[in-house]
Every structure is written in C-alpha cells, then in structure tokens.
Structure 1
Amino acid sequence: MHYLSVLLIGIAANLDNLGISVSYGFRSIRITFVSNLMIATVSMICAYLSIIAGEFISQFISIRTANVAGGLIIICIGIKCIIDSFSAQESPSEVKVDSNFSHVITHPDSADVNDDKVISVKESIFLGFALAINCLAMGLGAGITGVSPALTTLSIGLFSFLSIWSGIKLGSKICGMNIGKYSNSVAGFLLIMIGVYEMII
C-alpha cells in the first residue's frame, strides 16, 4: 500500500487551502468549525469521485502502465503548479468580492461574498468546490496508480481541515507574511516527487 503517497497527496492537495486561509486571517475573516468541516467534506467527495474514476481506468491497463501513466499525470500537474506560481508573481491581480459562483471558483479568497468577515456554510460550499477543483486531476492520477481511495480521501479531508484551521490562526498573528505565493511552488515540487515515486515503485 502506498502510505507515503497517501500522506504526501493529502499535504500537496491542501497547500492552496493554507495560503487562502492565511490571507483570510490577515483580513480577520473567520471560518467557523462547521464551515471548515463543510469545506473538508466537499474536498473529500470530489477527491473520492476522481480517485474512483482513476481506479476504473486502471482496470483496462497493466499495473506497470497504470503506475507510469498516473505518475506522469501527477508530475504534469506539479509542473503546472510551479509554472502557475511564477505567472501569479509576474501578474498579481486585485480580487474583488463577487457573489458569482464562477468568480469564487477562480478566486477562492473572494468567498466572503457578503463581506461580514465570516465564511458562512453556504459560502464554505462555494469555497470547498473552488479549492477541490485543483484536486480532481490529482485524484485521477492517484487513482490510476492504485492508491487506496478511502485512505487518500481521509488524508485529503484531514489535511484540508488542519490547513485551514492553522492558516487562519497563522494569518491572524503573522501579518505581512505572504505564504500564499509559495503554496503552488511547494505543492508542485511535492507532486513531482509523488509522481516519480509512483513510477519507480
């Protein structure tokens, strides 16, 4: 069983959550326990479905081919994360508060649509989908390599909850530290490591 991959996927899938929640902490925006739990639940549902889809695809190819294909998908996602991190640094943009769902999906840090400094349960569902979209291709690749759907889903849910909780705490105490701009790069390198690991085991 790929316990190391399960752990690293859980961490890599939620580095964006950490960056977003730190930015919320900076702005004194609270995410309640229930809202945080809802975000984790949405992430787990999306992750589980994508892993199952990957597992289904793996039935039609050999184990070796599945490991290589899944590993390559994960590596490509990692490379894209690193490229995106440089693009974001070169062209930073102002994020406006918008109640449009598509805007929240593309700008997760705008989920506080009513600007009341609290992420409600409804807003947390939007935010959960915005953050979970990044995990879909990752989950597909992981499923193809044969990781446990249940353990990987639990790992993603656990680290989702912990990253948002710790990010809010950190952001409210350490102002001026822009962790979010590093999250894509770190996640990218982690994913490349996971992909290589899956290809050689």
Structure 2
Amino acid sequence: MHLLSALMIGLAANLDNFGIGISYGIQKIRIPFLSNFFIALLSGVIVALSVSAGYFLSHFVGVANLAGAFLIIAIGMWVAIHKSSSEPAAVPVTVTLKKTYLVSLKPLHCVVQIIKNPSLADIDANGFISAKESMALGLTLSLNCIATGVGAGLTGMSPLSVALFVFFFSMVTISAGYWTGWRTASNRLERWAQGVSGVLLIVIGIYEIFN
C-alpha cells in the first residue's frame, strides 16, 4: 500500500530535521512557528515537484517500480553509511562577520554553508530564525529530499500524500528536536536520527519491491 510508504518517506526525509532542531536547541537559536511553517511548506512543495517528476518518468520506464525502489534503497544506504561516519552537526554558535558577509551576498554559498553548519541560517546572528532566513534553511533541507522524491514517484506514490506527510513531519521533527536539544544540551540523538533515516529508506525500498 503506497500510503504507508508515503508516511514512512515523510518520516525518513525529516529525521535530519530532528538533528537540525537539536543543534538549534543546544545553541538556543529560536525557530518560531511561522518560520517552522515556511520550512515545512517549502519542503512539501519541492518534494511534491520531485515526486511528480518521478511519476511522469514512470510512464516511460518499463520497470519503474523496481527502478524507484532500488533508487530509494541506494539513497538509504548512502545516508546510513555517510551520516554514521560524519561528525554531528551541532557546533558552537559563533558566526563571524566574514561568514555573515559571504552568506548575505552569495545565496548558493549560503546553502552549502548551512548544510555544513546549520547555525549559519541565522544570518544576522541574533539567535532567532526569521521567516526570511527560514526560506534559505527550508531550501537547504528540502534539497536532500529530491532524489528520494523522484524514487517515490517512480514507484507510483501520490505527490500529494508524500508532500503532506513531509510537511507534517517537518513541523513535528524540528520542534521536537529543538525541545530535545534545549532540554538536554546533548547532540547524541542527532547521529542516531540520521542513521535511522537511512535504515527507514532501505526498508521502504524493500517494501516497494514486494508490494
């Protein structure tokens, strides 16, 4: 049943957001509801487009379901291996004037830097992710979902259902991660969440093969 897979895709795609939320909670960088909403909305829209692209391609690929399932498994393996060997993303909240200057003038550079150091999304370093800053952060986080979205579309999943689950879990995981980081001041769960994300994607791919 594709609805179950769409739900799991929504969760797996946002476990990284849980880690990002932990990072912000530790650093006491606030993410208000409106900013969280914009991040989730942008993620949902981009995922809907990528799933739609995959669904369109499925009409031209004879074994689209298998191709999509194996793509999701490959992404899951890459995420599990790559994330488990990487350092946690939480870092001290120190943003120099030079970094802020580069971020404000080079949007693409900003995206790359935010991936490496989420605190750089707080461009003015005021400890608060504004609605405007949330757009850059939302774009960064949603880029990780594009390949997964295409794979989901190839297997025949509905763009609307996947987008809604991505939106919902984005709202939940960032808030839960922030609360966890703020309360515990520990980033141990961050690496755990990233590893589980990869395993979930592998399970989804295997499920789609036999579905």
Matches within 5 A, 1:70-149: 70-89=68-87, 97=95, 98-99=99-100, 100=103, 101=110, 102-149=112-159
Q: C-alpha distance in 2, partners of 1:172/1:58?
A: 44
The whole-number CA distance in structure 1 between the counterparts of 2:86 and 2:119 is: 14
TM-score by length of 2: 0.88
Match of 2:203 in 1: 193
Q: Which residue of 2 aligns with 1:164?
A: 174
CA-to-partner distance for each residue in 1:29-88, whole Å, 9 max, x for gaps?
A: 1101110000001101110110010001001123xx111100010001001101212331
Report the equivalent of 1:17.
17
Deviation at 1:136, TM superposition (A): 0.3
Q: Look up the match of 1:35.
A: 35
Note if contact 2:90-2:187 (Cα within 8 Å) is conserved in structure 1: no
Q: CA deviation at 1:184?
A: 2.1
CA distance in 1, matches of 2:166, 2:90: 29
The alignment of Structure 1 onto Structure 2 pairs a total of residues equal to 198
Give the Cα–Cα distance (whole angstroms) in 2 for the partners of residues 54 and 33 of structure 1.
31
TM-aligned CA distance change 1:92 to 1:114, over 3 Å: closer
Distance 1:24 1:9 in 2: 24
Amino acid at match of 1:75: I
Is contact 1:31-1:119 (8 Å) kept? yes
TM-score by length of 1: 0.92
Unpaired runs of 5+ in structure 2?
104-109
Q: 1:68 aligns to what?
A: 66
1:20 aligned counterpart, secondary structure: helix
How far is 1:176 from its partner? Answer: 2.3
Deviation at 1:106, TM superposition (A): 4.2
Runs of 4+ in 1 over 4 A off after TM superposition: 91-96
Q: Name the stretch that deviates more: 97-106 or 177-186.
A: 97-106
- Gap runs ≥5 in structure 1: none
Give the aligned CA root-mean-square deviation in angstroms: 1.9
Single out whichever of 20-29 and 106-115 deviates more from structure 2. Answer: 106-115
2:30–2:129 contact (8 Å) kept in structure 1: yes
CA distance in 1, matches of 2:50, 2:72: 13
